[in-house]
Amino acid sequence: MMLTHKRLSRRTMLRGLGATIALPLLDSMVPALSALRTTAAAGVRRMAIIYTPNGMMMPNWTPKGEGAAFEFSPILEALTPYRDQLLVLSGLADRYGWPQGDEGTGDHARAAATFLTGVHVKKTEGADIQGGVSMDQIAAKALGAETQLASLELALESVELLGACDSGYSCAYANTIAWRSPATPLPMENDPRAVFERLFGATDTTDAAARLARIAKERSILDSVSSDLQRLQKRVGAADRTKVTDYLDAVRDIERRIQKAEEQSTKQLPLVQQPSGVPATFEEHARLMFELMALAYQTDLTRVCTYMIGREQSTRTYPEIGVPEPHHPISHHQQRPEYLEKLAKINVFHMKLFAGFLEKLRATQDGDGTLLDSVMLLYGSGLSNPDDHNHHDLPILLAGGGGGQLKGGRHIKYPLDTPLANLHMALLDKMGVPIDRFGDSTGKVELLSGV
């Protein structure tokens, strides 16, 4: 190995006309022969919350057995390769998902709005919405000073709905799971082009016309930083040159796919007001957003992400897996076998996409480990059995290593109706952001620690 005194800052960027490209962790960013080389990524902790709507086919979710001897259920089977970095949690509940007093229906809106806040939300169709600060934003406020973006909020469905969406509740409650303040729900972005530009720049506006004009010029973001890249390649060693090349190839491939999706959207759906940049198929859209999240982690642009696979009461259809009916009506199955089977198919489909994301993280080097080692992922829903809008025994799992904070390979059963907020307190604690109380918490749940 050739050692030099040259060292790159962890904040080194490739800069060009209107573009800034962050880089992954390189050997050249760590002092030679320093103890930092072996612990460069160990101190970085990342968090993601992936929300799936309309509850779960619970008999096909809950594993048999508990502790290390649990057996994977049909829905969780896709996660088998990641058993050692997986915790399935049973018994957690969101009591504020239930109506308070005479509020009546509105369980879907409450399920999303309280999932990360643990507080009662005001029933209103107007602008006077009232919720609580979400757990992810508590982490983002503490960790945001170390990254360019405090947090990233992603979705797969349009969140531009206004007015009432669920029995007297404003659409704002169902459009997001992230709340910066009790009156400020954060918008979730469903357009991959807008997400890409937020991460990497290259334009002064995210206006659709401006983005399409840029595509017409057939100029890649990376083209504008090519000279900076050439200089960087001369400064780093062979191993780093390979890392940079592989990483930028991945960035270019994602950009190409976004551009292709925009072109296809225009050609195939000229009469549909579909946001430009959204791929034609749900699967490609979901995978693309997962890959953008992975890039955000890889470049350390943010350490906190939320991702809604769908909004509550989603009516998306899934003909590609044999479910041409809308998701929400299917979820009210009334124990009809054909509906139960189709609901399970949707749940399995979502889980396979999540498993693909885990594989992407596991395959991405981060210091002496992988991105999966450093991230703590919460996957779940604010409803268990959707047919009766049940907020007991929610489908919740954790994946990843959390920077050495989690030890997987377990199914943990907590006492029934343990507040979901107790889990949020424990996760914040493991993110290095301890708090005394959160929502309706009664304390922190015990999680198996990797340290």
Structure tokens at 350: 């979502």
Q: In Å, how far are 33, 242, 387 from 4, measured between CA atoms?
A: 11, 18, 64
**Is the per-residue pLDDT at 361 higher than 60?**
yes
Which residue has better confidence, 25 or 272? 25
Structure tokens at 251: 């960035």
C-alpha R_g of the chain: 22
- At residue 3, the pLDDT reads 38
Q: Is 380 helix (H, G, I), strand (E, B) or coil?
A: strand
**Is the per-residue pLDDT at 422 higher than 80?**
yes
Nearest residue to 197 via CA among 186, 206, 209, 210: 206
Q: How confident is the model at residue 301 (pLDDT cuts 50, 70, 90)?
A: confident
Lowest mean pLDDT among 4-18, 168-182, 383-397, 402-416: 4-18
Structure tokens at 379: 């996957």
Whether the CB-CB separation of 159 and 149 falls below 8 Å is answered with no
Nearest residue to 43 via CA among 7, 10, 1, 89: 10
Straight-line distance from the first to the last Cα atom of the chain, in angstroms, rounded to the nearest whole number = 32
Q: How confident is the model at residue 355 (pLDDT cuts 50, 70, 90)?
A: very high
Structure tokens at 121: 């939300």
The Cα–Cα gap between 352 and 77 comes to 9
Lowest mean pLDDT among 39-48, 125-134, 148-157: 39-48
- At residue 403, the pLDDT reads 81
**Is the per-residue pLDDT at 414 higher than 90?**
yes
**Is the per-residue pLDDT at 424 higher than 80?**
yes
Could you report the per-residue pLDDT of 57-69, keeping only the tens digit for each?
A: 999 999 999 999 9
Diameter of the chain measured on Cα atoms: 72
Q: In Å, how far are 322, 343, 386, 390 from 334, measured between CA atoms?
A: 20, 12, 10, 13
- At residue 285, the pLDDT reads 95
- At residue 1, the pLDDT reads 32
The mean pLDDT of 394-420, rounded to a whole number, is: 94
The Cα–Cα gap between 288 and 309 comes to 12
**Is the per-residue pLDDT at 97 higher than 90?**
yes
**Is the per-residue pLDDT at 266 higher than 80?**
no
Mean pLDDT estimate for the chain: 84
Q: In Å, how far are 134, 138, 177, 364 from 185, measured between CA atoms?
A: 9, 13, 8, 32
Could you report the per-residue pLDDT of 228-251, keeping only the tens digit for each?
A: 777 777 777 777 777 677 677 767
Which residue has better confidence, 31 or 378? 378
**Is the per-residue pLDDT at 225 higher than 80?**
no
The mean pLDDT of 447-451, rounded to a whole number, is: 61
- β-pairing, 169-170 vs 164-166, is antiparallel
Residues 6 or more apart from 306 whose CB is under 8 A from it?
Answer: 48, 49, 51, 116, 134, 136, 151, 152, 153, 154, 176, 177, 178, 188
H or E element in which residue 229 lies: helix 226-235
- β-pairing, 304-308 vs 152-155, is parallel
Amino acid of residue 170? S
- At residue 62, the pLDDT reads 98
**Is the per-residue pLDDT at 253 higher than 60?**
yes
Residue 87: beta bridge partners?
Answer: 398, 410
Q: How confident is the model at residue 254 (pLDDT cuts 50, 70, 90)?
A: low
Q: How confident is the model at residue 2 (pLDDT cuts 50, 70, 90)?
A: very low
Report phi then psi at 49, rounded to 5.
-120, 120
Lowest mean pLDDT among 120-124, 206-210, 292-296, 365-369: 206-210
pTM recorded for the entire structure: 0.80
Q: How confident is the model at residue 211 (pLDDT cuts 50, 70, 90)?
A: low
The Cα–Cα gap between 88 and 338 comes to 27
The mean pLDDT of 45-55, rounded to a whole number, is: 97
Q: How confident is the model at residue 447 (pLDDT cuts 50, 70, 90)?
A: confident
The mean pLDDT of 382-401, rounded to a whole number, is: 97
Could you report the per-residue pLDDT of 316-342, keeping only the tens digit for each?
A: 999 999 999 999 999 999 999 999 999
Percentage of residues in the chain having pLDDT higher than 70: 77
H helical segments located in 6-80: 36-39
Give 405's DSSP letter: T
Q: How confident is the model at residue 263 (pLDDT cuts 50, 70, 90)?
A: low
